[in-house]
């Protein structure tokens, strides 16, 4: 199923994969406890359905924007390289600026920047493999 020159199913799968990766990345199995400690012990006071719903919408927006950027049917190496460029060179670098001024730790930057680098790398893998 194609819309606006992109594979909608691949974009949906990329968004779902991002959401699932985030669930694992920020879980106690990986970086959840350290992330929470570095953020001063975040207490979630919003309804989980709202939090996860809004997070999924942002995942979908990121997957859509990335798919538009790499174009329809990108070669795997092109899509993966652009995934690393977007995640590390754009998102993580911009977090680095904000975190510097907010006096946040390098550990927090590595966790959050690492997640978004992995997120866009997975976007590149999915969009580059799905032809």
131 residues of the chain, pLDDT tens digit each: 666 677 999 999 999 999 899 999 999 999 999 999 999 887 777 777 888 899 999 999 999 999 999 999 999 999 999 999 999 999 999 999 999 999 999 999 999 999 999 999 999 999 999 97
pTM, to two decimals:
0.92
CA distance 26 to 38: 12
DSSP 19-70: HHHHHHHTSTTTTHHHHHHHTT-----S-HHHHHHHHHHHHHHHHHHHHHHH
| pLDDT of res. 2 | 61
| pLDDT of res. 1 | 61
Burial-class residue 88 by CB neighbours within 10 Å (0-12, 13-18, 19+).
middle
């Amino acid at each position: 199923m194609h819309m606006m020159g992109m594979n909608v199913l691949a974009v949906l799968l990329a968004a779902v994969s991002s959401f699932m990766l985030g669930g694992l990345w920020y879980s106690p199995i990986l970086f959840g406890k350290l992330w929470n400690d570095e953020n001063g012990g975040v207490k979630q006071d919003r309804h989980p359905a709202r939090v996860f719903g809004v997070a999924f919408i942002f995942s979908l927006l990121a997957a859509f924007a990335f798919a538009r950027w790499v174009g329809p049917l990108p070669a795997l190496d092109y899509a993966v390289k652009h995934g690393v460029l977007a995640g590390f060179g754009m998102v993580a670098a911009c977090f680095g600026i904000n975190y510097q001024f907010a006096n946040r730790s390098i550990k927090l930057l590595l966790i959050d920047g690492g997640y978004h680098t992995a997120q866009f790398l997975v976007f590149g893998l999915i969009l580059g493999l799905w032809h």
